[in-house]
Every structure is written in C-alpha cells, then in structure tokens.
Homo-oligomer: A and B are copies of this chain.
Amino acid sequence: MMLINGVPADRISADDRGLAFGDGVFRTLQCRDGTPCLWPWQFACLTRDAARLGLPVPDESLLLAELAAACAGLPSAVAKITLTRGSGPRGYAIPAQASATRIVAAHGWTGYPERHARDGVALTWCALRLGLQPRLAGIKHLNRLESVMAKSELPEAFAEGVLLDSDGTVVEGTLSNVFVLHDGRWQTPLLDRCGVAGALRDWVMSQVPVEQVRLLPQDLLRADLLFVCNSLAGIWPVASLDERRWRDFAPVRPLQAALAQEYAARPA
C-alpha cells in the first residue's frame, strides 16, 4: 500500500527532482499494527535531514495517519517515508515554487532471522571507500549509489560489510551503524564527513554513553565487542570480522532487551 501526497497511488511524476537528482530524503521504519517503532527518533532524523536539504517536513500527525493507512491489514510491516523536492523545471537550481512530494509506503515483513541477534553475525571489509562530503554527511538522502555498489559487492557469506571513507577511517555498515566497546566504553564513528546516521544509532546514544570518534580498522579489530544496528534489524553483535572472532556478547544483551521493550511499547 502506498500513498503519494496522501492519495493512494503508485506512480510519481517523471520530472520529480527525487528521480532527476536524488533531491530528497527517506526513512525506513519497522511498524507493528500500523504504529512505527522508534518514532520519536525516526521523526527527529527525518526533520533534521529535511532541514539540512531545505525541504519542508510534513506535520507529524499527518505522517502517523498515513503510516497507519499504508500498514492497514499488516501486523508487521516495513514502511518507508520518502520526501523529495517535487517536480521542477530542467536544471540543478532549486525552484522557488517547488512543491514537495511525500511518499508513504508499507509492505508486510517477517523480520530477520533471530539467530543474527542471538549468535552474532559475520562481517567483512568493503573494498569501496566512501567519498568525503561534510555537507551531506549523516543525511539519509536519495543519493545512494555508494550504498548500492557496496551492498552488491558484499559476498553472501557476510551479513554486513564495514565501509571505510577515502581517508581510511571507519564509517558504518552498508545498511547499519557500527558500535564498538573498548574497556567498557562505547564508541561509534563520528559521521561528520560521510555516512548515514540511523534512528537506532540515536536511540542507542540515548541509552548508554557513547563517544563519537574517528575509528580506524585496527580499533575495530582490537575491540572487546562490536555490534551493528539499524531500525529493521535491531542490534546484531558481531561474531567475526574476517579473521577476528568474538564470543562474549553479554555487554550487548541489556541494550537488546531495552530495544525489545521499546519496540513492544505503543505510543499513548
């Protein structure tokens, strides 16, 4: 089920700037009985990203109503909110009169296998290096060719790949954020030069103290524990990163339990 600017539809204008230039942002959300999980964090991310591109943000209650409508009949769903700058004349210049396009879509979803969260996942390094673009860093925008290439190169044996930037520092997974435990302190890559700041990344940082720092590949290999996370997958401890192995996932269990509670909660 899909709503485009509030109306059931499945097509958009071919001159939409979302298609022409990737001029827009999106969020992918887990919904239960029509209610989006992590909504306060998701909406905050959407608002922050839209503001950085100068896009208007729809009213929160409107989005919630459209998510509920898109999820009708789906007890467990993946929803996606896409906001673009709408149709415009030829050329990169942002039109003064652009009217944003809002797409809210959902489909049924059974979730990832539970063993990922329980037993941990196998990671490898991606060959592709992310370009540095501070002006777009952190934004979940529609320019995702780097993500497409990274994901398409990831061997199937690995649940996730770790992306470095062109300077060789660690950024994220192909579709997740990365957290590292060193001597009892949580760290996550600073996303001020590239990468996507997921809603679950924000949620984790609301639960435990986390340092946002520049991490090198050897910092991951020396870590006591790693996990990757996104709002669909939840939190996956890392069982291996190429040759390196981890076995003790105890430090991540309280976060997983808190997240399960968060997901089970319903907004008032």
* In contact, B23 and A19 (Cβ under 8 angstroms): no
Does any Cβ of B come within 8 Å of A15's Cβ? yes
Count of chain copies: 2
Q: Write the chain B residue with the least CB distance to A89.
A: B107
A76-118 interface bits toward B, Cβ cutoff 8 Å, 1 = contact, 0 = none: 0010101010000011111000000001010100000000000
| Alpha-carbon separation in the docked complex, A90 to B150 (Å) | 16
Contact between B166 and A132 (Cβ–Cβ < 8 Å)?
yes
Q: Is the CB of B9 within 8 A of A148?
A: no
Q: Are A10 and B16 in contact (CB under 8 A)?
A: no
**Do A21 and B145 touch across chains, with their CB atoms under 8 A apart?**
yes
If over half of A's interface residues share one DSSP class (helix, strand or loop), that class is named, otherwise mixed; here it is: mixed
Question: A207 near B: Cβ within 8 Å?
Answer: no
- Contact between B141 and A145, CB atoms less than 8 A apart: yes
List the B side residues contacting A147 at CB < 8 Å. Answer: 21, 92
8 Å CB contacts to B: which residues of A1-51? 2, 4, 9-23, 26, 28
- On A, residues with C-beta under 8 Å from B are 2, 4, 9-23, 26, 28, 53, 78, 80, 82, 84, 90-94, 103, 105, 107, 128-133, 135-136, 141-152, 166, 174-175, 194
